[in-house]
Amino acid sequence: MPELPDITVYLEALEARVLGQKLRKVQIASPFLLRTAAVGLNEIEGHRVIGLSRLGKRICIGMENDVWLVLHLMIAGRLHWKDTVPGKPAAASTKATLKLPKNQLAVFHFENGLLSLTEAGTQRRASLHLLKSKAELEALNRGGVELFAGDEFIDLATFKRVLQSENHTLKRALTDPRLFSGIGNAYSDEILWQAQLSPIKLTQKMTDDEIERLHGAIRDVLLLWIERLRKDAGNQFPEKVTAFRKDMAVHGRYRELCPVCGAKVQRIRYATNETNYCPRCQTGGKLLADRALSRLLREDWPKTAEELG
């Protein structure tokens, strides 16, 4: 699922392309995409984009008539951009209708190009909300604090208060949109590895030193990946948005070697997600129980990294 760094780079690319541009036509191919009925597509067609913002992991596009187009890409949704060919305006005209492939859920025809939304697989979790005002937009806010206000990062005291407002595991706390805005499964793994903290450590059991390490790791990891993704995209629209990147330290790297200590990266699996961690850097050599494998193997389940060989 695209998280704060990915959404940030998406928004920068959109700002360079659609801000001030007129949205001529919207094609919706999937009936599951549009989640609101109070605002019709005709209320955004023919209006210019005057604002772009992030709300958690949502991309918000504000129109000049105060209608907001809000996209949540979920796990498999991705955005794509195609410039309109000069001298051939038909592709962006209000009369044009493109035949969309099965994985393409929507196309937004702007004066200068086409913004399309695709989703891999068949589950169709991505969503589009059309909202009448900024007040309605705020109603979608899950309440998590924003980690960055411009160039300023959240202060340590506020961070500590929010982190310890409930007693959860660090993995759950970092990915809870009611606590922190924009962090998900991938970057929480990288943050906890950077901070050398166990994903199952309870927030209210943390020392001041651990909280300070976590605070710094969040800032450093998010800024690092924003810059990396900017560099990867360059002046192009970001097309390689993925939760699994070869430069990540632990996320998606099960059984590969930790870049610092050389131990094999381990995982905890639950539902459709998994947590990746280094047992030597983060848990003092202890292997955390994987619900599926540890129940199957019982006494044969290894307890330390050394037992893995």
Q: What's the CA gap between 15 and 228, in Å, rounded?
A: 19
Q: What is the CATH number of domain 148-308?
A: 1.10.8.50
Vertex 190, ends 188 and 193: CA angle to 5°? 105
- Contact assessment for residue 287 and residue 266, using Cβ atoms and an 8 Å cutoff: yes
Contacts of 149 (CB under 8 A, 6+ apart): none
What pLDDT is attached to residue 298? Answer: 45
pLDDT value for 99: 72
Give 192-235 pLDDT, tens digit per residue.
999 999 999 999 999 999 999 999 999 999 999 999 999 999 99
User: Is the CATH number of domain 4-138 3.40.50.720?
Assistant: no
* pLDDT tens track for 106-154: 999 999 999 999 998 888 899 999 999 989 999 999 999 999 998 899 9
Convert the pLDDT of each residue in 268-293 to its tens digit.
987 678 899 999 999 999 999 875 54
Domain boundaries, the chain: 4-138, 148-308
pTM over 0.75? The answer is yes
pLDDT at 306: 41
Indicate the average pLDDT of the chain.
89
CA torsion angle 190 196 202 203 (round to 10): -80
Residue 95 has pLDDT above 70, yes or no: no
126 close to 72: Cβ distance less than 8 angstroms = yes
Decide which of 18 and 38 is more confident. Answer: 18
CA distance 43 to 123: 28
Can you spell out the DSSP letters for 191-240? Answer: HHHHHT--TT-BGGG--HHHHHHHHHHHHHHHHHHHHHHHHHHTTS----
Tokens of 244: 């699994």
